[in-house]
Amino acid sequence: MLAGILMALVSGIAVGLQSVFNLALEKHIGLAGLMLWLHFIGFIVAVPVVLLVDPGAYGKIFSLRTAGLPFYVLLGGVLGLIVVPGVTFAIQRSDPAITFSVIMIGQLVIALVMQQFGLLGVERANIHINQMLGLGLIVIGVGVYFWRGS
């Protein structure tokens, strides 16, 4: 459990840094250039890393069409085409702290909805009142954090 929490923290830090880097790149090469660069450099770095870590992954990738998976799970990379420009746009029009606070709320809401209804392969589990209260407190906390009284 602790390893998962620490990895989530590291991943959150990476997303925060990447978003600021993306904003600087987007200002220089535009949104289309940013998307092309991110996916190109990600591919270039991923190929040797995968060869070192899990050389058998390439065979698994080419067998995806016969793996019997729902089509939507193959579209996860497309979400990056929404996430990256969306975060970049949001940071430009607010600031990183507000952007990531609202992103966190969005992630919690979709996680609870998927859990409650067992959507997209997530194991169904009823939402408990403490989860709803926690989410409400986070929303209130974000509001208090960013509230600038007159």
84: Cβ contacts below 8 Å, ≥ 6 apart: 22, 34, 35, 38
pLDDT tens digit sequence for 99-134: 999 999 999 999 999 999 999 989 999 999 999 999
Q: Return the residue matching tokens 């600087």.
A: 24
- Mean pLDDT, residues 58-85 taken together: 85
pLDDT at 62: 82
121: Cβ contacts below 8 Å, ≥ 6 apart: 70, 73
How is the chain split into domains, by residue range? 1-93, 95-150
In which band, very low, low, confident or very high, does the pLDDT at 149 lie, cut at 50, 70 and 90?
Answer: low
pLDDT tens digit sequence for 23-69: 999 999 999 999 999 999 999 999 999 999 998 888 888 888 778 88
Q: Is the pLDDT of residue 150 over 70?
A: no
3-state secondary structure of 39: helix
CB-CB neighbours of 18 under 10 Å: 14
pLDDT at 67: 80
For residues 59 and 51, the answer to whether their CB atoms sit within 8 Å is: no
Give the span between the Cα atoms of 149 and 44, in whole angstroms. Answer: 48
Q: Which two tokens stand for residue 67?
A: 């793996």
For residues 22 and 88, the answer to whether their CB atoms sit within 8 Å is: yes
pLDDT tens digit sequence for 3-16: 999 999 999 999 99
Q: Which two tokens stand for residue 93?
A: 């029009």
